[in-house]
Chains A and B, each alone.
Chain A
Amino acid sequence: MSRWTISGLEADLDRFHLGPLDFDLSPGRALAVLGASGAGKTTLLRTLAGFLRPSAGEIRCDGVDVSDWPPEARRLGYVPQGLGLFPHRTVAGNVRYPIELRTRDDPTPRVTELLERFRLAPLARRYPARLSGGELQRVALARALAADPELIVWDEPWQALDVLARYELGLVLHDLREIEQIPIIVVTHDPALAFSIADSFLVLRAGQVREQGDASVLLHAPSDPFVARFVGFENVYEREVLARGAPGSLRAWLLGHAGPEGVAVATPTLRPGAFALPVWEGQVRSARPGPDGVSVEVVADALLVSLRLPPPVTSPLPVLGARIPFAIDPATVRPLGAPSPPGAAR
């Protein structure tokens, strides 16, 4: 499998400017591209796939500059948003398509093999309109592999899938990466799956790189509220919201810990009696028991705060409307938009 090196890549689409971006992807590695809508994720993928000409920089595959190669020459398994399946071809016809284009040999054995591998054999003669979300994703993947890609580029692979189908797809992508050593680039909004597949992350905002590196970088120094929420912080407050707090209030205290973009707080755990810290009081809005304790949402200083009561879950649960005290350990607070800690992996 090939090694991909992207250096100084820039692209322009109407008034949107992407880049410069630098990253490389070795065989068997997976990169997740994150970012809010309009951050430039799809623009990046379309540039890699050859549908947008870079305005600067290079895309190299095993050292060869492919930046101005047409899409059909790049050997990418590009799966666009919505999967891009051919509605007028059956499942088998979809998988057969790239093989027919490349070889005059009988494509049937390879098609059969891929259909078996992705458990699509019973659906071979169906048209995409008659398939479920999970089945469609498997067809897209089988078709992408039929082209013997050097890189899989997948835009939002987990859109509209049920839990089981997402899990299955995660396993398949994992296999492709681990066993077949195919490098993968995915765009996703789903943190759980991004973390389960990708070993590096690229966070985009307005076409610029906000953060780049492995998961620890994202967790230690989230660059903005989007990244903080993405990596799992439940309490994320933007700076201007906190700036309206009175002296001595919860908002003012959080503002004291905030970075230029705001602050993220890991879910504070309620530990009655252990309050050496400033104690705040919140009014219970909801209490939801689960395997890792009781998730409690309170309103304090007109901010919504998510708290957790550690297990075991004991009754009675906090009563809606009751006022309960809580404290926030400063060690769980992350300033947003602060410079990355030294030594963080790129």
Chain B
Amino acid sequence: MSGGAAAPPARPGPRRPLRTGPIWLALQLVLAGSLILLFLIPIVTLFTYAPLSGLLAAADNAAVRATIWLTLFASGITVLAAVLFGVPLGYLLARRRFKGRAVVESFVALPVVVPHLLVGLGLFLALVIPGSPLYRLTQALGLPVYDTIWGVVLVMVFVSAPYTVLASELSFQAVDERVIEAARSLGAGGATAFLTVTFPLALRGIVAGLLLSWARAVSEIGGLLILAYAVYPGGPYNGPVTSTVSVYIYNLFQIGDLADAASVSSLFLLIAFVLFLAVRLGERTGWVPWRRGELAP
């Protein structure tokens, strides 16, 4: 007998690992790439459909310039309104505890989920049917909404401001309470601490929300088809009778002018792209203030 103890069960040695790395990477590339491809199809098609000469002709066309100007102007006012009303609402939701907060939050999200034709119809019934109290109010204030720039702005604010409110709420929530408390303790009153610490720290998220709001505003069509299909001069807009870019393109499509529709679309895409790129480049170079602190010294 040698020893007598049973031999320990053989333990498996190291195993050759399965080389899943390349497959895993390929899977990610294919899945992510498919979506990018989907995004690119209409954009590339539009640009290839509209030759450069068409693009230049569109840019030179007074009617096209009017629709683009109207859209940028109305969406600009919309963004200002989003800052003025949306940011305070976001702050309130982020920092204050009050009863019915969940209800208010649901109302804020509502415009994102309801069909926009419905929004247009609701605003039309409330503000355009003579005799309704809100109609009388808009008349008394000299702010008629039917087929005016105010109508455009109203629809745009309705459908786009929630993005600013939600982004502001998240950004204000993300500001560390202790940083604000440090500022207070160092001698800043409530308003000073907000202006010097809370707002600058939340600014980046707020700007992201404003960009989304702007994008949503310029792409709006459903509500405008009902409330402001055409826009007549009046109020701050004193150009020719026109419509927003989205309605304008829809009209060109309706009459079968695909080449012009593609040209105007491409031109507007280009403008939007340049605007977004400018903001992103500004962030990367530290030219805009809201990302300072994350950049290298």
275-297 of chain B: CB within 8 A of chain A = 289, 292-297
B197 contact set on A, CB distance < 8 A:
86
| Chief secondary structure at chain B's binding surface | helix
A88–B293 Cα gap in the complex (Å)?
5
Cβ of A191 to closest chain B Cβ, rounded Å:
25
B257 at the interface (CB under 8 A from A): no
Nearest neighbor of B196 in chain A, beta-carbon distance? A97
Are A72 and B178 in contact, with the CB atoms below 8 A? no
A81 at the interface (CB under 8 A from B): yes
**Which candidate, B17-25, B153-161, B186-194, B259-267, is the interface stretch facing chain A?**
B186-194
Are A127 and B200 in contact, with the CB atoms below 8 A? no
Cβ of B288 to closest chain A Cβ, rounded Å:
12
Cβ of A125 to closest chain B Cβ, rounded Å:
6
Task: Specify which of A78, A87, A90, A130 lies most central, judged by the most chain B CB atoms within 10 Å of its CB.
Answer: A87
Are A101 and B186 in contact, with the CB atoms below 8 A? yes
Are A127 and B294 in contact, with the CB atoms below 8 A? yes
Per-position 1/0 for B184-209, Cβ under 8 A of A? 11111100100011001100000000
Task: Specify which of A50, A74, A127, A128 lies most central, judged by the most chain B CB atoms within 10 Å of its CB.
Answer: A127
Q: Given A78-B182, A86-B179, do A125 and B297 touch, yes or no (CB 8 Å)?
A: yes
A318 at the interface (CB under 8 A from B): no
Contact of A101 among B178, B182, B187, B296 (CB under 8 A): B187
B121 contact set on A, CB distance < 8 A:
none
Cβ of B207 to closest chain A Cβ, rounded Å:
14
104-143 of chain B: CB within 8 A of chain A = none
A101–B188 Cα gap in the complex (Å)?
7
A308 at the interface (CB under 8 A from B): no
B60 contact set on A, CB distance < 8 A:
none
B176 contact set on A, CB distance < 8 A:
82, 84
Contact of A82 among B178, B187, B296 (CB under 8 A): B178
Are A84 and B178 in contact, with the CB atoms below 8 A? yes
Nearest neighbor of A91 in chain B, beta-carbon distance? B297
Are A80 and B182 in contact, with the CB atoms below 8 A? yes
Per-position 1/0 for A84-104, Cβ under 8 A of B? 111111100000011001100
Cβ of B205 to closest chain A Cβ, rounded Å:
13
B92 at the interface (CB under 8 A from A): no
Contact of A84 among B179, B188, B289 (CB under 8 A): B179
Nearest neighbor of A124 in chain B, beta-carbon distance? B297
Are B192 and A71 in contact, with the CB atoms below 8 A? no
A128 contact set on B, CB distance < 8 A:
293
Nearest neighbor of B289 in chain A, beta-carbon distance? A88
Cβ of A86 to closest chain B Cβ, rounded Å:
6
Chain B positions near chain A (C-beta within 8 angstroms): 176, 178-179, 181-189, 192, 196-197, 200-201, 289, 292-297
